[in-house]
Structure 1
Amino acid sequence: MDVRIERTRRALQAALFDLARERPLDELTVADIAARAGVNRSSFYQHYADKETLLADALDAAAEAAGASVPRVLRPGSAPPQALFDYLRHFDENAEVYRRVLGPQGSAVVMSRLRARLETIVREGIEASGSRVFDGLPLDVVGAGIAGTALGVIEAWLARDPRPPVETAAEWLWRVLLGPGDAWR
């Protein structure tokens, strides 16, 4: 990709991400974003169709830059995997933005992208694990259920005031995902 294109996209992502920390997405205009990024409105539209797609890209880039990832293979154990702590830490560090985009007035585009990414990770993780726990269930149904559960727990955690620490959220999420644990044995 052309360096100028990448630089403009990064500037737009950073601008929207910063603005989304300050106020709700529906209060932001393309002109606000372009001005903060130091580009004109036509540059915005050369790279993005709308601000929600830009925000989804910005959140993806921020998660990647933070090294946040979801564990590729979820296996039962006594404690949540480190990758889950790292992923939730990214949400915690950007809680104000995520509260806005995951809440009732949030972004359908961002929620859809997060859900799709989690569903893919879950399906791939189950396939790679060789687990037979979900035999007889379509993997897309399992992926949708687990992704929806994870996003629900994350959204409820972010909405709490005061917000409990990442370690508490990881424990909550891990316990909800594993349930009583008997099915894994």
Structure 2
Amino acid sequence: MMSRTDRRPEDDPRYQRVRARLVGALLDLAATKPAEAIAVSELTSAAGVSRTTFYKHADSPAQLLASHLIDQIAPVMEPMTTLLETAEQDYLLRWRDITVDVLENVRSNRQIYGHVFGGEGESVVLAILTRYFERIYGGYVEDFAEHVVDETPTDLWKAMATSQQVHNLIAVISSWLRTGMVDSPEGVVSTYMSLAPPWQLAKFSPSGHTSLRRNRVVASLLESISNNDDERSATSRSSSGSIHE
């Protein structure tokens, strides 16, 4: 049994009621302008609470909004970090379902996300969301790397793959908002899948393994680039040696 001293403030019903009032007032305001433009005094007045009470919940309206948005998408997005543990054979379908659910959440908060992704200047809310996306996709990429058998993904590969996923999601949401959200979430994901990086479309064997081997055209291009780099390097060393002779 949890003792009174072990209880967290957020477990207190009074805390939850006040937070609900703050979030409700914040969502109304954030639908009309970026959270960064909302003053603490404006929010506390709308919610009917004191500034002291507000600071028990967040450091700023932007932080509170980001926290709320993450709370909303976390239940559908968190499974991405362990996707391959339970869905190796149909992981692309599960990845699609998760992303569609995220977009459904964005659509239900269209005006708010419109200010987050389309506002002028740096968005504190977007920065916090980006860090959250980095954690989720970082787990996804680490999970994927453990299933690769033909080569060991390097730390650089994993860092690039994670950044790629994060910025792709941001680009997907931004593009959808910018084009008026006329396409369905399913249509948006289908469009993205036509542009997805090859590794994300990899197939898994019955034993749960995959490969990073590229198709012939890409492999030939990479080999050509590598050979050209080697030739430039050799020429550079030769020129350097001639200068010092």
TM-score bin, normalised by smaller chain: 0.7 to 0.9
Shift of 1:167: 1.2
> 2:159 & 2:24 partners in 1: Cα distance?
33
Structure 1 runs of 4+ with >6 Å offset: none
Larger CA Rg, structure 1 vs 2: 2
User: Over residues 4-52 of structure 1, what are the superposed CA-to-partner deviations in whole Å (9 max), with x where a residue is unaligned?
Assistant: 2333223212221221113333442222211222212222133322111
TM, length-normalised to structure 1: 0.80
2:137–2:165 contact (8 Å) kept in structure 1: yes
Q: Is 1:39–2:54 an aligned residue pair? A: no
Structure 1 alignment gaps of length 5 or more: none
Tell me, in whole angstroms, the C-alpha distance in 2 between the residues paired with 1:113 and 1:24.
14
SS of structure 1 residue aligned to 2:195: helix
User: Which position in structure 2 is the counterpart of 1:118?
Assistant: 133
> Cα offset for 1:98?
0.7
Matched, 1:81 2:96: yes
Map of 1:100 onto structure 2: 115
Question: Is residue 63 of structure 1 aligned with residue 73 of structure 2?
Answer: yes
Secondary structure class of the residue paired with 2:194: helix
Could you tell me whether the CA contact under 8 Å between 2:137 and 2:162 is conserved in 1?
yes
SS in 2 for 1:36: helix
- Offset at 1:104? 4.2
- The CA distance in 1 between the partners of 2:72 and 2:95, in whole Å, is 23
Measured on the aligned residues, the alpha-carbon RMSD in Å equals 2.9
Q: 1:151 corresponds to which letter in structure 2?
A: I
- Of stretches 154-163 and 76-85 in structure 1, the one that deviates more from structure 2 is 76-85
- Out of 73-82 and 98-107, give the one that drifted further: 73-82
TM-score normalised to structure 2 length? 0.63
Could you tell which deviates more after superposition, 47-56 or 128-137?
128-137
Distance 1:159 1:49 in 2: 30
Cα distance per residue 1:61-109 (max 9 Å; x no partner): 3335xx4326333776478531221111001111111110112426632
Letter in 1 for 2:39: T
- Gaps of at least 5 residues in structure 2 are 1-7, 203-210, 214-245
In structure 2, C-alpha distance between the alignment counterparts of 1:154 and 1:102, rounded to whole Å:
8
Q: 1:23 aligns with which of 33, 44, 49?
A: 33
Letter in 2 for 1:17: L
Aligned equivalent of 1:9: 19
Find the aligned partners of 1:63 and 1:106 in 2 and give their Cα distance: 24
Q: CA deviation at 1:123?
A: 2.1
The offset of 1:147, in angstroms, is 0.4
Map of 2:58 onto structure 1: 48
